[in-house]
Amino acid sequence: MVQTMLAAAGVFAGTNVDDIIVLTVLFLSARAAGRPRVWQIWLGQYAGIAVLVLVSALAALGLTLIPDRWVPLLGLVPIALGVRGLIGAIRRRDGDEEQPPAATNALAVAGVTIANGADNLAVYTPMFRTLGVGDTVVTVIVFAVLVAVWCAAASWLGSHRRVIALAERWGQWLVPLVFITIGVVILLG
């Protein structure tokens, strides 16, 4: 169970490093303009992650049609995302960063989370395909706890501009490397 909890925490962190930047910007907006409200950010993030987990779990159920010996090949998806991210980071010039979409309520925050969640789907789906029911429940609970940690951390980060600059500088490298690691773990699993 501890191994499942640690793996779930690693997967969540790896797929949501980019979300912490978006959440931080949303909390900055909440402080500066009053919109979205803090509770709307929290609710929207929970709703968005819940949708991503549900879609991934349903997709994983569909993958039960794939023979078990082929399941590790699903690790190629996060590896491909990681390689693509590294290539993008190498090509990206200063000032070419995408700005997160404006979100003014909980539904918009959920929409931003879902729109930013292709990586979550790509990693969660093969992971859920390989987990049993008990490990899936543990994983979902860990994800729920970590959404709160992410929101609290982003709220704190939203008041420290130096931290935001560091996350924006190194996040483009960290996220792809985590995806590649997750993919290798799935391939070897």
- For 104-169, the DSSP string reads -SHHHHHHHHHHT-HHHHHHHHHHHHH--HHHHHHHHHHHHHHHHHHHHHHHHHTT-HHHHHHHHH
pLDDT for 78: 63
Domain residue extents for the chain: 2-188
DSSP category for residue 102:
P
Q: Compute the distance between CA of residue 41 and CA of residue 155 in angstroms, rounded to an integer.
A: 10
Q: C-alpha 130: how far from its chain's center?
A: 19
Q: Identify whether the C-beta of residue 41 lies closer than 8 Å to the C-beta of residue 28.
A: no
Q: How far apart are the first and last CA of the chain?
A: 17
The per-residue b/e assignment along 20-57, b for 16 or more CB within 10 angstroms, e otherwise, is: bbbbbbbbbbbeeeeebeeebbbbbbbbbbbbbbebbb
DSSP category for residue 64:
G
From first to last of its 189 residues, the chain has per-residue pLDDT tens of 899 999 999 999 988 887 887 788 788 778 777 778 999 999 999 999 999 999 999 888 876 666 667 767 766 766 776 788 788 878 876 555 554 445 678 888 888 788 777 788 888 988 898 888 999 999 999 999 999 999 999 999 877 777 666 656 666 676 677 667 767 876 776
pLDDT for 173: 73
Q: With the C-alpha atoms ordered 153, 24, 116, 113, is the resulting torsion angle positive or negative?
A: positive
Residues 6+ apart with CB under 8 A from 123: 11, 14, 15, 77, 78, 81, 179, 182
